Amino acid sequence: MTVCFGHTMELCDASEYDPKWEGPWSLESLPILPSEMKYRPIERQSARLSEIIRLCNNATRIIHCGDPDREGQYLVDIVIANSSFKGEVFRWWPGDLSKSGLERSFRSIKPNKDYESLGIAAKYRAWADWIVGINFTRLYTLSAKKCGHQDTVSIGRVQTPTFSLVHNRCCLLYTSDAAD
């Protein structure tokens, strides 16, 4: 038995797909769309990942006990997929952490395939985040440099609207204070 402790693998950097995406950023290199998405171990987790994969490779069956959500499904599925394990994978899904709820969930362990769509949804969300983030960050940074801005303009699916909410909230407070 072992645990993952969160993310153990991450999507590769653009330069790991094609050297043309490493050099100085240019509009000509956009869009960055790898033909397939690749993963690598997260450096600080590599020893843990090696141990998990060793255990998977020697297992006769696996009970997936990741967090009961899309991301939890994805994090464990990707580790199993990167091992040579070919046996049965089951899924324990604890919906209720009370004693009776845990007992019920242990009696209702199902095949991991029943939860496959959740992991796929999380995987494609991660891929979309990577593609949007890398392409728009480079596009906006290059556009801003034409106007004299020298820093990277980081764009992302979650951070950009969140920054907008914070900015708008601060501006609203500032303007309402000035009106008083």
**Can you tell me the mean pLDDT for 63-90?**
95
Q: Is the pLDDT of residue 177 over 80?
A: no
Q: What is the pLDDT of residue 162?
A: 80
Q: Locate tokens 């991301």: which residue?
A: 71
Confidence grade of residue 179 (pLDDT, cut at 50, 70, 90): low
Using DSSP bridges, classify how beta strands 61-64 and 39-41 pair: parallel, antiparallel or unpaired: unpaired
Q: What is the pLDDT of residue 5?
A: 76
List CB contacts of 105: < 8 A, sequence separation 6 or more.
Answer: 92, 93, 94, 95, 96
Predicted confidence (pLDDT) per residue in 129-158, tens digit: 999 999 999 999 999 999 999 999 999 887
Beta-bridge partners for 40: 10
Confidence grade of residue 114 (pLDDT, cut at 50, 70, 90): very high
Q: Alpha-carbon distance 163 to 72, whole Å? A: 26
Task: State whether residue 62 is helix, strand or coil.
Answer: strand
Q: Locate tokens 């959740």: which residue?
A: 118
Rounded-to-5 percentages of helix, strand, coil across the chain = 55, 10, 35
**Can you tell me the mean pLDDT for 63-78?**
94
By mean pLDDT, which of 12-16, 51-55, 137-141, 163-167 is the weakest? 163-167
